[in-house]
Structure 1
Amino acid sequence: MNQKLPPLNALRAFEATARHLSVKIAAEELCVTPGAVSQMIKALELNLGARLFHRMHRGLSLTEAGQNYLPPVRNAFRQIAEATRRIETVTDTGLLTVSITPFFAAAWLVPRLNAFQAAYPDIDLQIVTSNALVDFSRETVDIAVRHGLGRYPGLCSDRVVAVEIVPVAAPALTAQLGIPGSPAELTHWPHVHDTERKGWHLWFAAQEIAVIGSPRGPSFDDSGLLLKAVLAGQGAGLLPAAMVASELAEGRLVKLADVLMLEDFAYYLVYPERFRDRPKITAFRQWILNEAGADQGDGMVDETAVRHRL
């Protein structure tokens, strides 16, 4: 039997507005304008033939009809979400899309893929390389690996590996400024930065050197572009030692200080909380953290991977 149901978007607008008792906050949550929320609620009231809110000068309150309508609407959304989660869990096999930085993919992940496929033959990995943070609500990506401090609002983050970092510069820049006699001298050099602009701060802090002022100079969300900027003489840069080994050996870069492991400046596994219990996510997460733990002492890891919940 056909049942007359109100529009789903109008019900979502009602539930969000009733929960916050604010059209503005509901609009922000639903990514629409306050005017759109107000129109949807008015259309719902017209559809129901009843007022759902008292509209007062300083806010909203639910009418008796609104108070009676809210619990079943909220429960219906919860049932839909739970049913969706169960279906996703049952069908959560097959393709796993991993977004990963190009350097980490080439230097760490790709050589180990045979081990993952042997352990999980029913999961087909699709590797996409990128340095930009993934928008999981818009992109068809299941999980990502990114380099930084692991602070990604609204996402879960697992520390995978820290890499040895070395400060480097182009020979033309060292010819102009000289080879630094101590790490402290690098505070006066021009710098190029990672996108978070935290690398040099952490490096100086590890040397027990206080740096005053905000970091200056260009920043890059791609380590390959950062390397090119350093090669072009735009400043000193902090880069993974393995990444610049050939440039140092060929004399295209100059090492400015000893290699150093920055514990928090590492590669992190990043994913939404709602993906956490999906079998293929669980499988990849456990595998990569186990691999990272087994690799201690090879220059890529300084301790067992530690989980950070954000």
Structure 2
Amino acid sequence: MARRIPPLNPLRVFEVVARTQNLTLAAQELHVSQSAVSRQIATLESYLGVELFRRERHGVTLTRVGQGYAAEIVPAFDAVANATARLLRSTSQGALRVRTYTTFAAKWLIPRLPDFQRQYPSIEVRIDNATPDVDFDRDPADVAIQFGDGRWPRLVADHLFDDEIEPVCTPAYLAEHRGKRNKLEPLLQHRLLVSHYRRLDWDDWLAFAGMAEVGQGTERMSFSSSVLTWQAALDGLGIAIGQTAMLRSELDAGRLVRPFAQPLRRERAYYLVRPRVQREAKKVSAFRDWLLETVAR
């Protein structure tokens, strides 16, 4: 049998009047007129078929039936208010929880975080590294940085930057392995360094550059992450596929070079994502604004 629940607005008005024992105070708390409060009480009494309040010269008092009803309804509204307060505290207060990939955190986000902390010293940032796409209902995160096409159900996505890839190596490796008359193809015939999660990068770039046959039989050394792959390139183990945005400091400092200077821009990109249906906390707004401004610079 279906549960019978009275109209919620009159029930809410009853809870306030029962708690304050005063129509004027109830009207002030509810931001309505005193006559509107009286009408809502009358609606609830009509629905229940009982008198809940006595209208007396100096105000209202609960009837015996009204007292019994209030004894259960007032705590129920207290429980709703407390549950709502806890939920809002969990989403608006505390540390900002950012979920992203190890490579993005290590090579792009963390080096720039001191600037965010200078601007927002009261916001603590906690970074959680994970590869699967975020599920905000399951994962303890306020925002996430994801790689993809920007179309995720139930999420709002802000484009950060495109995925731009090309081979990188050290200047010493380039000097040692390039061919006569500075031919670059021999660089692709020694050792190609491969990231496990981006195994197709080399094949995609070789096809884009028209050099698929050149690198077809070359030895490939695989690493569990792009960070380790690029470290292997910095240590002279071979030539790797670099992501331009992630390696800006190494390229600017000359520790890595782009011998072919033929970047391939992919259709997928990096995005900041957050729940579509959620009141945005100030810490989330601050981080989003800072992140987009930093990318733009």
Give the TM-score of the pair, scaled to structure 2: 0.48
Query: Larger Rg: 1 or 2?
Result: 2
